[in-house]
């Protein structure tokens, strides 16, 4: 009897471990530790958590894009739709749909929404997405996310933001692999974006 129970316990333990391992491998998702690091091939990058309905995000996005071009460093954008905004979550899902065609196209859609943010509302968001899709010769299906995969990606980004204690948008970090003791610095004042990048790059 003891041997049977021991074997059963061992089998169950192995099953649990395999399930956990497969979940970790299958998800391939970032963790709070990995999100504030530059992507492979870069020593320094800008990491942004943004909400497509956030007025400050709209103002900061072109500044970040210009800094990226000036310093020739990548920008990694994360979705962090805030609960008080009534269309940003759906817009983030739409951006994820365009991401499936190319990350550049998804980011172009995000910038397009920022450019039109003052006119966008829950009723016309779909029309703006359709106009963007037509201009880029991309089909926009009537049901955008039938399996909920895109929503899960947005949720994963939002959970990451919560895990690193984000409480506002945009949250902008300069991340670096050069200084292990200080791998990231938050840019709390947009006027200090360039000086923060300069300081990180000199480390």
Q: Indicate whether 22 and 69 sit together in one domain.
A: no
- Whether residues 126 and 196 share a domain: the answer is yes
Kindly state the average pLDDT of the residues 124-130: 98
Same-domain status, 22 and 37: no
- CATH at 66: 3.40.30.10
Is residue 43 domain-shared with residue 109, that is, in the same domain? Answer: yes
Residues 6+ apart with CB under 8 A from 93: 144, 145, 150, 151, 154
Number of domains in the chain: 2
d(CA 65, CA 60): 9
Lowest-confidence segment of 11-15, 87-91, 121-125, 180-184 by average pLDDT: 11-15
Does residue 16 share a domain with residue 59? no
**pLDDT band at residue 182 under the 50/70/90 scheme:** confident
The reply to whether 59 and 145 lie within a common domain is yes
CB atoms within 10 A of CB 189: 9
**Where in the sequence is the domain holding 114, given as residue range(s)?**
33-202
Pair 10, 55 in one domain:
no
Query: In whole angstroms, what is the distance from residue 35 CA to residue 78 CA?
Result: 9
The pLDDT of residue 29 is: 62
Q: Are residues 6 and 93 in the same domain?
A: no
Do 48 and 145 belong together in one domain? yes
What are the φ/ψ torsions at residue 43 (nearest 5 degrees)? -95, -25
């Amino acid at each position: 009897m003891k041997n049977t129970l021991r074997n059963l316990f061992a089998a169950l333990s192995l099953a649990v471990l395999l399930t956990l391992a497969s979940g970790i491998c299958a998800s391939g998702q970032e963790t709070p530790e990995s999100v504030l690091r530059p992507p492979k091939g870069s020593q320094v990058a800008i990491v942004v958590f943004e909400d497509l309905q956030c007025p400050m995000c709209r103002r900061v996005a072109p500044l970040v894009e210009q800094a990226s071009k000036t310093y020739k460093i990548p920008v990694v954008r994360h979705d962090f739709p805030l609960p008080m905004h009534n269309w940003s979550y759906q817009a983030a899902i739409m951006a994820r749909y365009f991401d499936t065609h190319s990350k550049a196209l998804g980011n172009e859609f995000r910038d397009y929404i920022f450019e039109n943010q003052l006119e966008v509302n829950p009723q016309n968001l779909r029309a703006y997405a359709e106009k963007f899709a037509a201009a880029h010769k991309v089909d926009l299906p009537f049901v955008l996310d039938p399996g909920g995969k895109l929503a899960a990606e947005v949720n994963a980004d939002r959970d990451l933001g919560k895990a690193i204690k984000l409480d506002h948008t945009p949250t902008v970090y300069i991340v670096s692999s050069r200084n292990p003791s200080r791998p990231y610095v938050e840019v709390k004042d947009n006027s200090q974006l360039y000086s923060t990048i300069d300081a990180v790059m000199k480390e």
